[in-house]
Amino acid sequence: MSFDKLGLSPDLLKAVAKQGYTTPTPIQEQAIPLVLAGSDILASAQTGTGKTASFTLPILQILSKTEIKGRRQPRALILTPTRELAAQVSSNLRSYAQFTKLKSTVIYGGVNQRPQVMALQQGQDIVIATPGRLLDLYNQRHLSLKSISMFVLDEADRMLDMGFLGDIKKIISLMPGQRQNLMFSATFTEEIKRLTKDILHHPVKVDVSPPNSAVESISQMGFRVDKSKKKDLLVHLINDQNWNQALVFCRTKHGANNLSEKIESLGISSVAIHGNKSQGARTKALADFKRNKVRILVATDIAARGLDIPLLPHVVNFDLPNIPEDYVHRIGRTGRAGANGVAISFVSPDEKNYLRSIERLIDFNIPLEEVEGYYSPKMSSKNGNNRGEGKSGGKPTPARSSKSTKGKKGKSPSHQTVAAKPKNRKPKKRWY
């Protein structure tokens, strides 16, 4: 199917074509007609599947049909959990709206509010916001939500993880009861299901991927490594494979800073991004990384969502996340928009429970290898080396199609895509 079959206006089709898109993704193909028809939707789609366009395009189309009378008031509100995601959505929205007369602005904390207030005073049709700054500006009477007719809650699961439930309920109470609601979440917990009852009215569910699965174009693998040798292994992989761009996740802000400084001291350009950094520093770090001025971006889970880095080849879990759903979002920074990517996890013996939780969630055994000199076995290799897992030179193979990853009878490949995993297979007992 092409975009012109979805009922979009010529102005929007022109903007989409200018971005180089010709064929809608599954989430766009299913969601756009439903939103245009006026339905509330509850959508599940993995990061990197093009979900932003699935709600911004129909919002622009619907609002363009309504005549503006008097001063512009926000008619659509898009709520996101992080500044980075808000900025990304705003950038995409401006690209799609370039041939329309609609105006939009983005508001988030961590920066001077004055430019945001001035933008609101000029009148806006669409506001993209994080909850805290939105409520702050509302309480200062810089904006009204009385004219909101379309509401998007993006990354709803992350919203709840970050403790925004109270703010979300407050914001909902400030909007008209009669409105169209669109809710997007990569995972569906019981909390999310309860929240849908407060927001959505007779929603149509859109589910284009198995729950809690990773994008099929991402090749997943891991290395057994001593905790004390993780930094050395990362530097070895960067140099041995000549990585030009990699996003590396740490569990703590302090750990991210230390790792970035270590890498930088060895002559590898690196920068850290986390919640203690100013918004200006975070924006500059991301911009430098996207322009390849910096090879390694070290981040906490603040970057697990909202970072859209085209053709990012590698994501590294330096520390495994203690929340298994975060693994899905972390590795979703690569393999976006159909491109291939490699997700690498460093697994030290103290992280075995995290690994098991992740594998149960995604229903997939992440193949593990060793690089000589970086791991001291605690047990005989015969106890856990039954899936083609062993020593290697630390050379991750590129993502493969599901056909090529199946291998010959009696053998298992060292790297597999999620597409190749058997259905409903339970993770085997590990080597620990």
One digit per residue, the tens of pLDDT, for the chain of length 432 reads 789 899 999 999 999 999 888 899 889 999 999 999 999 999 986 666 788 999 999 999 999 998 777 788 999 999 998 888 899 899 999 999 999 999 999 999 988 999 999 999 999 999 999 999 999 999 999 999 999 999 999 988 888 877 899 999 999 999 999 999 999 987 777 788 888 888 999 999 998 755 545 556 688 999 999 999 999 999 999 999 999 999 999 999 999 999 999 999 999 999 998 878 877 888 888 889 888 899 999 998 876 565 667 678 899 999 999 888 888 888 877 766 556 789 999 999 999 999 999 999 888 899 999 999 999 876 434 434 444 455 555 555 443 333 333 333 333 333 333 333 333 444 444 444
- Structural domain including 355 reads 218-420
- Where residue 53 sits, what CATH number does that domain have? 3.40.50.300
**Residue 414 pLDDT:** 35
**Residue from 316, 115, 313 nearest 231 by CA:** 316
Q: Is the distance from CB of 374 to CB of 225 less than 8 angstroms? A: yes
Rounded to an integer, what distance in angstroms lies between the CA atom of residue 271 and that of residue 320? 20
**Same domain (yes/no): 236, 197:** no
**Residue 174 pLDDT:** 96
Q: How many domains does the chain have?
A: 2
Rounded to an integer, what distance in angstroms lies between the CA atom of residue 332 and that of residue 362? 13
**Same domain (yes/no): 410, 281:** yes
**Same domain (yes/no): 18, 107:** yes
- Final residue before a domain boundary, out of 162, 187, 207: 207
**Residue 103 pLDDT:** 96
In a domain, 313, yes or no: yes
In a domain, 297, yes or no: yes
In a domain, 29, yes or no: yes
Using CA atoms, how far residue 384 sits from 236, 254, 381, 405, in Å, is 25, 33, 6, 20
**Same domain (yes/no): 249, 123:** no
Rounded to an integer, what distance in angstroms lies between the CA atom of residue 63 and that of residue 59? 6
**Same domain (yes/no): 332, 402:** yes
- Sole residue written with tokens 């190749």: 420
**Helix runs in 74-189, H state only:** 83-96, 114-121, 131-139, 156-161, 165-173
**Residue 344 pLDDT:** 95
- Sole residue written with tokens 């950038």: 91
**Same domain (yes/no): 315, 234:** yes
**Same domain (yes/no): 49, 148:** yes
- Final residue before a domain boundary, out of 177, 207, 237: 207
**Same domain (yes/no): 198, 247:** no
In a domain, 305, yes or no: yes
- Final residue before a domain boundary, out of 207, 233, 265: 207
**Same domain (yes/no): 138, 32:** yes
**Same domain (yes/no): 171, 252:** no
In a domain, 298, yes or no: yes
In a domain, 431, yes or no: no
**Residue 430 pLDDT:** 47
**Residue 235 pLDDT:** 96
In a domain, 426, yes or no: no
pTM of the model: 0.64
In a domain, 428, yes or no: no
**Same domain (yes/no): 147, 44:** yes
**Same domain (yes/no): 56, 196:** yes
